[in-house]
Amino acid sequence: MNKHIFYPPVTVPFMIIFSILLMLSLAFIFIDVIGVAFRKLGFSSKIIALLLTASLIGSIVNIPIYKIRTETPIINLEFAEFFGIRYPIPYIGKQISETVIALNVGGALIPVLISAYLIIADISILPNIVVATMITTIIIHSIAKPIRGLGIATPALIPPITAVFAAFITGGGNPVVAYVSGTLGTLIGADLLNINKISRLGAPIASIGGAGTFDGIFLTGIIATLLT
């Protein structure tokens, strides 16, 4: 009896090619969505292409800033002998190591530079940006949690929604206010204000901007802009 029950309708090479084309299509759609957000911020097509290229390349670049001492608790055993019998005595010790604090170019530096440019381009909305950024920072910092082995985590949609809310109550839903407050509010509230907790995570490197281009800082600004 033939044990094969399920037969693929197409050949394996076709499935591989189809999967590659599907991933490329999704990538182009995602890039186009990012382009829409940048166009709402007033950037030209050439500048958008430059920003996307710089963000993609910069996502693999981490600039070391400084090092912090990391102490990880570990359980050790000592032995004591009594009348020829060895008794294990556990005690908690500390493993000393270093964590390198780095700045990711694509995930943090470029969004910050974009924010700085947008502020300089329209300095009249600076008060709105300051208030919106403060609101976003406070809310994001209250929900950001350090998770060992992962980093500083926040629920995915809370930062951009918070930034949009802050933009509407301070700037009438201005896309620039939403982008800048989302970017800087996430950077300050999630990363910078939790920098003292990094030593507890036991990671050899902690990158501000985290996963690079598609990290929370980068995406928060993009999604917040699209929602305005």
DSSP state of 7: -
- For residue 150, what are its two tokens? 């992962």
Name the residue ranges covered by the structural domains of the chain.
35-68+97-227
- pLDDT averaged over every residue in the chain: 79
Q: Residue 65: pLDDT band by 50, 70, 90 thresholds?
A: confident
Q: What is the pLDDT of residue 191?
A: 85
Is the per-residue pLDDT at 57 higher than 70?
yes
Is the per-residue pLDDT at 6 higher than 80?
no
10: which residues sit within 8 A by CB, 6+ positions away? 18
Q: How far apart are the first and last CA of the chain?
A: 62
Euclidean distance between CA atoms 173 and 160, whole angstroms: 13
Q: What is the pLDDT of residue 34?
A: 84
Is the per-residue pLDDT at 52 higher than 70?
yes
- For residue 102, what are its two tokens? 């780095």
Euclidean distance between CA atoms 181 and 135, whole angstroms: 8
Is the per-residue pLDDT at 125 higher than 70?
yes
Euclidean distance between CA atoms 217 and 208, whole angstroms: 9
156-200 pLDDT per residue, tens? 788 899 999 999 998 788 999 999 999 999 999 988 888 877 767
Place of tokens 């950077």: 187
